[in-house]
Amino acid sequence: MATAIKKTTKTKEVTRKPLAAEGRYVYAVGRRKTAVAQVRYYADAKAETLEIVVNDRPYAEYFNTFEQREACVAPLKVVGKSEAAKISVLVSGGGLSGQADAVKLGIARALVEHDALVRPALKAEKLLTRDPRAVERKKPGLKKARRAPQWAKR
């Protein structure tokens, strides 16, 4: 005869990580290569400092290079809000460089959604343009997208 086995279950307390802010926000999506950034710009938050949170980490910690960090802040500098803003970003796919450019486009779109008067300034700096370049697909009969197999005349 088999005896009954007692199962004990442990309950874990899930603590929610605080995002950049709570309250009303403007939502926008930015894309670059295969990276997708979902941006929340907290418009009504009274921010004293620049606070950009990328995947629950400060943007300066998430992005390694100076160029990537500057790409994130570029739309805010054009608009003049680089000193004080609250933004949270969920980004996935691609590499860090593509993600940084996706965040840049997402922040620019969120700023336009919040205030349409900043559109000409952002458009002049080409910050609202989606870069269409992506990896070319591999074709059948070729080794890579364009690389043909070696060919011998004789």
CATH value at residue 58: 3.30.230.10
Q: What is the pTM of this model?
A: 0.82
Q: Is residue 67 part of a domain?
A: yes
Structural domain boundaries, residue 32: 26-124
Residue 7 pLDDT greater than 90, yes or no: no
Q: Is residue 151 part of a domain?
A: no
Residue tagged 């802040």 (tokens): 73
Q: Is residue 112 part of a domain?
A: yes
Mean pLDDT of 52-57: 95
**CA-angle at 88, arms to 83 and 93, nearest 5°:** 125
Q: Which of 42, 48, 43, 44 is nearest to 18 (CA)?
A: 42
Number of domains in the chain: 1
Q: What is the CA radius of gyration of the chain?
A: 22
State how far Cα 106 lies from the chain centre: 7
Q: Is residue 135 part of a domain?
A: no
- State in Å, rounded, how far the first CA of the chain is from the last one: 78
Buried b (16+ CB within 10 A) or exposed e, 105-132: bbbbbbbbebeeebeeebeeeebbeeee
Q: Is residue 68 part of a domain?
A: yes
Kindly report, residue by residue over 33-52, the tens digit of the pLDDT: 999 999 999 987 677 888 99
Q: Is residue 15 part of a domain?
A: no
Q: Is residue 75 part of a domain?
A: yes
Q: Is residue 80 part of a domain?
A: yes
Kindly report, residue by residue over 84-134, the tens digit of the pLDDT: 889 999 999 999 999 999 999 999 999 999 999 999 999 999 999 999 999
